[in-house]
Chains A and B, each alone.
Chain A
Amino acid sequence: MAPFELVAPATPDEAIAELGALGASDAVPLAGGTDLLFDLDDGRLAPRRVVSLRRLPWQTLDWNGPILTVGSTLPLRRLETDPEVRTRLPGLYTAVRAVGSVALRHQATLGGNLGRSAPASDLVPMLLALDAEIDLVGPQGARTVPVDQFVIGSRRTALRPAELIRSVRFPEPRPSAYLWQRVRPFRDISQMAVAVAYSPARARWRVAVAGFPPRPLLVPEVEDALGPVLPPARSDLDRGAHVLSTRAPIVGDKRASEAYRRQIVRPLLERAVRRASGEKAGS
């Protein structure tokens, strides 16, 4: 690991200034470190300055009517233990619990998961299905980007130099579910994952898949097929599963073949939609 200096500014403005004073590859933000430390160890990143976000006032969780705003540096464990998250955004609760272990989640953050933007992230697909919006703040001020536009590819996001993720906003409670296929059910990387949510406001299902490159994706054709109601008609669910399995841009990589993924995604979608509709999986 190349030597670096570690700074821990107390305000967002100072953090942005610390980052902006050096080039993007010379200064990087640190949240939980559960991804960043690996990139520092193997030399993928060799910054001169690491800017810890731990003192920023962003370890927050606020419900404002139907809207949930989660500060980017809130440890994931605190998101999972909020009783309203569990009941109002059940898919988010499940997806958070799919990440590593409890101790890892006391360190890891939503901001870090988005910053890493891994193709097999367990949180990005759920954020897509929930139409999360990402609040950013940087040298040019604040802006908000839908998660679908924020995530570009592995380690590639819409972040501009010295810009930080401040918070993530969820516009409404949604019946939702998250299911994944892994070699081992917990503490492993998902080979294939499906996030579904039903938007009452838009009378529409949202369906995202993840686990393969280049990034987690929404699949609007499947959403169309599922129709406007909760639960969907049996024939619509069949059609949605067929469309997802045959037409989604699923590819193979070292962790699973394309054929395997196309096969496994069908029952994952069916079970996820049933679970979001309040039925037990497999019923």
Chain B
Amino acid sequence: MSGGRLRLSVNGRPTELADVPPEERLLDTVRWRLGLKGTKEGCRTGECGACTVLRDGHAVLSCLLLARDADGAAITTIEGVRSDPVGERVRAAFESAGALQCGYCTPGFVMALTGLLREAGRSTPLDELLEDLGGNLCRCTGYSTIVRAARAAREGLP
């Protein structure tokens, strides 16, 4: 890692950061260095999904990723989700289903669902898709509207 510089593409923008310590989590880089506070910290132990971002198009847990181990990757956070057609669909589905209460879990759910639908479109059966969303927890327990949003976002995809 030349000169300790970290190169990422964040929401489509090339980003170069100096002096990121090796132990820093991508979650902290995104929130505190880049000021993108949409990505949430729930548990910091991989169990809640609130910190979900896309790395090269796939959902990952930014609390369990060393920022510098993501060197060279394209990161999409909730702030950039609208530039992805699937992401925008998912965001709109959450909005129209009213799939949020306090909203803390919402960015993680939107990113996780975007990742899943980008991977497989509608080819994943609905029950499997919902099972695959199980890595995200909603402490307000607003699951029925989240399920409705997931179903709506999946409809009409190829």
Q: Which residues of A contact B (CB under 8 A)?
A: 1, 3-8, 30, 32-34, 37-38, 40, 50, 52, 54, 75, 77, 81, 100-104, 106-107, 186-187
Contact check, B46 vs A34: say whether CB atoms are below 8 A apart: yes
Q: Which residues of B contact A (CB under 8 A)?
A: 1, 21-23, 45-47, 49, 52, 55, 58-61, 64-66, 68-69, 71, 112, 115-116, 119-120, 131-132, 134-136
**In the complex, what's the smallest C-beta–C-beta distance from B96 to chain A, in angstroms?**
24
Contact check, B112 vs A103: say whether CB atoms are below 8 A apart: yes
Given A102-B132, A106-B115, A107-B61, 7 further pairs, Cβ under 8 A? A4-B22, A6-B22, A8-B1, A33-B66, A50-B22, A102-B116, A107-B65
Contact check, A6 vs B59: say whether CB atoms are below 8 A apart: no
Q: Which residues of B contact A107 (CB under 8 A)?
A: 60-61, 64-65
Contact check, B71 vs A8: say whether CB atoms are below 8 A apart: yes
Contact check, B23 vs A100: say whether CB atoms are below 8 A apart: no
CA distance A6 to B2 in the complex (A): 11
A52: nearest chain-B partner, CB-CB: B69
Can you name 24 A-B pairs with beta carbons within 8 Å?
Answer: A3-B21, A5-B22, A6-B68, A6-B69, A8-B69, A32-B64, A33-B65, A33-B66, A34-B61, A50-B22, A54-B69, A100-B46, A101-B61, A101-B132, A102-B59, A102-B132, A103-B49, A103-B59, A104-B46, A106-B58, A106-B59, A106-B60, A106-B115, A186-B131
**In the complex, what's the smallest C-beta–C-beta distance from B12 to chain A, in angstroms?**
20
CA distance A95 to B41 in the complex (A): 28
CA distance A30 to B52 in the complex (A): 20
Contact check, B115 vs A103: say whether CB atoms are below 8 A apart: yes
| Other-chain contact of B47, A6, A33, A106, A187 (Cβ < 8 Å) | A187
Contact check, B64 vs A37: say whether CB atoms are below 8 A apart: yes
CA distance A187 to B71 in the complex (A): 29
CA distance A1 to B132 in the complex (A): 32
B55: nearest chain-A partner, CB-CB: A106
Given A6-B1, A81-B119, A106-B59, A187–B22 Cβ distance below 8 Å? Answer: no
Q: Which residues of B contact A100 (CB under 8 A)?
A: 46, 135
CA distance A33 to B1 in the complex (A): 18
**In the complex, what's the smallest C-beta–C-beta distance from A76 to chain B, in angstroms?**
12
CA distance A194 to B44 in the complex (A): 30
Q: Which residues of B contact A50 (CB under 8 A)?
A: 22
Q: Which residues of B contact A104 (CB under 8 A)?
A: 46, 61, 64, 135
CA distance A54 to B56 in the complex (A): 14
**In the complex, what's the smallest C-beta–C-beta distance from A209 to chain B, in angstroms?**
25
